[in-house]
Structure 1
Amino acid sequence: MSDLMSIFGTPTMANAQYEKGKIRLDFSKNQIKKAGESIRKEGVTNEKVQLIQNYRAAHLYPLMIIKNLVWKHIQKIAPNAIIARRLKRLPTIIDKLTRDTLDGINKNTMCVTRMQDIGGCRVIVDNKEQSLRVNSSLEQSRTLYITKLSRDYNINPKKTGYRGIHRVYQCYGKRKEHDWKGFTIELQLRTRLQHLWATTVEVVDLCEGKTLKTNPYDADPRWIAFFREMSDFLADEDGFISLSNEQKKQSLIALNEALNAQKKLESFNLIFSGRKISHDKNKYRYAIIGICLSDKTTHVNFFGERKKHDAIRLYSEIEKNDLWNGLFVEMSDIWQLQYAYPNYLIDTHQFVEKLKSYTESSYWTQPLRFR
């Protein structure tokens, strides 16, 4: 199974909780670097994976700090925003190290200690205005984390159609010495429509066995074109761009028909079970979600505050099984799980509704942004 650690909740945490989140690096960064290089050249072993897992886990504390920093900036600007934290999945790290190329042109020379997104904080806001205001507020902030890099994919979308704003923070960059000095955390800032697009791409990757997100250069170009078109329509509705070309509509219709995309997306909701979560949010602190691709079922296990280690043990066992895809989540509001990670609950109905509306003849006479 895969490993994706995501944590929800409010930023108000006691010092004891901070201390519990401090998982220190047991090895030198040079040892981590050599383990990554060895994986690329000689393959995966348990010993090498152990080093990578420790390095990945050490990002938990910086993630906690960044989430609290972000929360302070969004309270007044985007009070309904969703914030989620996650550690990069182990299979994704291994794939990124061993892939021949990362850009479709140059030879892959990625070093694991230079991966800037092993720790990720995702912020989902309502609309374009909130996205720009939150980003501006973060740009002006002063913190022990310094912005190392900022990419605005709203201005320059990825070739896949991905949109959003990414900010990379370098942990304690202003300190001479610190246990977490040099660790990087990637912040993803998305609107609800951008998030809808991104999670649906992951659903197709999961259910169709595609690599649209992780390795688009080897993916089916028709699916890439389909999602690129859908990204434009969603960006038009968000107000980032303005579409006026009827030919785009015809292109989207043709791609939808060639891929049977709408029916496939609808079917994904039907073949997986156990999607709904209705447990008492005050009773549980952790959730382990497992998708079994062999019998097409989704399993969710909940654990209370005192059962954290049981949750971690279960998740560790699931991660070892390649036939499963999993998620470890900590949350204060259980409902956020269904919204922030619909890809793990196989929920595509909102995306399908958008696709239907964009291919109706009435769309071009009355675009959604003017309704």
Structure 2
Amino acid sequence: MPKHALRKKLRKLKFEAIVSQRLKRAPSILDKLDRYPQMKLSRMQDIGGIRVVLSSCDDVYKLVMKYKHPGFPHKLKNEKDYISNPKDSGYRCYHMVYEYSNSINSNYDGLMLELQIRTKLQHAWATAVETVGTFLDHSLKSSQGPREWLDFFALVSHAFSYVEKTNGLARFSDENQETVFKRVKSEAKRLDVVGKLMAFRQVIKNVTTDKRQGSIHLVVLNIADAQVTIRTYSKSAIGQASDDYMNEEATINAENKKQVVLVSSDSIELLKKAYPSYFLDTQEFLIQLQKIMSTKFLHKQLGLFE
């Protein structure tokens, strides 16, 4: 499921999209194996994968249909529509898991790869969850951490479902849109969400990049030092990039907390858009949250006039 094939589909559909490809971090793999003891590493669905961020839910489903078209060489093993059926946490995205087939090199046959397709709004929500989780030192995206924050993000996701006209969370089904929007405003003020996220954005004072050319990037987020370091590699240097990635992973412990990701992206700017949580950038989430908290926006959503 190479990126160039995905880009070809996106060009045919004339979609604007953010595309990135990454390997799952070793601690994430270990955490998942710990939470699901029966899971085998060889069958884990998302060790490698591609993420696509599109403008709307309509675009998401059009791309999904392209990947279900006869003639696609990889075998669809599993799919989850977390947009129509969001997780209890509020997570929304379309997942497609493929068994990889390579006509040139059979050594890659059978590898499980995951395609994640989400909207910009869903991406902004997920970024905020990861960023707050980083500072709370809890994996909020895995539903681990303070209940008040888990409940807040679930509530916001439900509010966003009104904006995108998709299914919301069952736990809020008895509340109408006006009540939900007002609850978001109340909880956001109680938790000082806007103030905290604005402060988080100021934490990273320095983003250090090298001058090398390439499409493979090793990103290291060091909270303690308020530093993001990006190392860039050419495709021919993937071996060195992988070694450096593993060396960085090996330094992570309780005293030396940092986040490391090895990704493929055509530029640093696209990298920042695809993985804003590694730059503690929740600007898009803040914009959308403040819209939800606006009385004028609520009236527009409800078809009312002031």
Q: TM-score, normalised by structure 1?
A: 0.71
Count of aligned residue pairs for this structure pair: 294
Q: Which amino acid aligns with 1:205?
A: G
Q: Which amino acid aligns with 1:289?
A: V
State the partner residue of 2:107. Answer: 179
Q: Which amino acid aligns with 2:266?
A: S
State the partner residue of 1:148. Answer: 77
State the partner residue of 1:250. Answer: 182
State the partner residue of 1:84. Answer: 20
State the partner residue of 2:58. Answer: 129
Query: Sequence identity, in percent?
Result: 27
CA pair 276-77 structure 1, distance change in 2 beyond 3 A: farther
Report the Cα distance in structure 1 between the residues aligned to 2:151 and 2:20, rounded to whole angstroms.
29
Q: Which amino acid aligns with 2:119?
A: T
Deviates more, 1:142-151 or 1:229-238: 229-238
Segments of 5+ residues of structure 2 without an aligned counterpart are 169-174
- Structure 1, residues 45-71: CA drift from partner, whole Å, max 9, x if none? xxxxxxxxxxxxxxxxxxxx3433323
Q: Which amino acid aligns with 1:91?
A: P
How far the C-alpha of 1:88 sits from its partner, in A, is 1.1
State the partner residue of 2:285. Answer: 351
**Contact residue 206 and residue 226 of structure 2 kept, 8 A:** no
State the partner residue of 1:16. Answer: none
**Contact residue 21 and residue 265 of structure 2 kept, 8 A:** no
**Contact residue 128 and residue 285 of structure 2 kept, 8 A:** yes
DSSP-derived class of the 1:366 partner? helix
Segments of 5+ residues of structure 1 without an aligned counterpart are 1-64, 103-107
State the partner residue of 1:30. Answer: none
How far the C-alpha of 1:270 sits from its partner, in A, is 0.7
1:213 matched to 2:149? The reply is no
How far the C-alpha of 1:219 sits from its partner, in A, is 2.3
CA pair 305-72 structure 1, distance change in 2 beyond 3 A: closer
Counterpart of 2:221 (choices 291, 298, 307) is: 291
DSSP-derived class of the 1:179 partner? helix
Q: TM-score, normalised by structure 2?
A: 0.85
- Structure 1, residues 323-356: CA drift from partner, whole Å, max 9, x if none? 2212223332332111101011111122112111
DSSP-derived class of the 2:140 partner? coil
How far the C-alpha of 1:305 sits from its partner, in A, is 6.1
DSSP-derived class of the 2:281 partner? coil
CA pair 367-283 structure 1, distance change in 2 beyond 3 A: same
Counterpart of 1:362 (choices 293, 296, 301) is: 296
State the partner residue of 1:57. Answer: none
Counterpart of 2:34 (choices 98, 103, 122) is: 98
State the partner residue of 1:339. Answer: 273
**Contact residue 149 and residue 167 of structure 1 kept, 8 A:** yes
**Contact residue 86 and residue 167 of structure 2 kept, 8 A:** no
Report the Cα distance in structure 2 between the residues aligned to 1:241 and 1:220, rounded to whole angstroms.
25
Report the Cα distance in structure 2 between the residues aligned to 1:340 and 1:182, rounded to whole angstroms.
27
CA pair 306-204 structure 1, distance change in 2 beyond 3 A: same
CA pair 134-272 structure 1, distance change in 2 beyond 3 A: same
1:327 matched to 2:261? The reply is yes
How far the C-alpha of 1:308 sits from its partner, in A, is 5.0
DSSP-derived class of the 1:213 partner? helix
Q: 1:162-173 counterparts in 2 under 5 A?
A: 162-172=91-101
- Structure 1, residues 69-92: CA drift from partner, whole Å, max 9, x if none? 323322121432122111111001
CA pair 96-80 structure 1, distance change in 2 beyond 3 A: same
State the partner residue of 1:58. Answer: none
Q: 1:14-25 counterparts in 2 under 5 A?
A: none
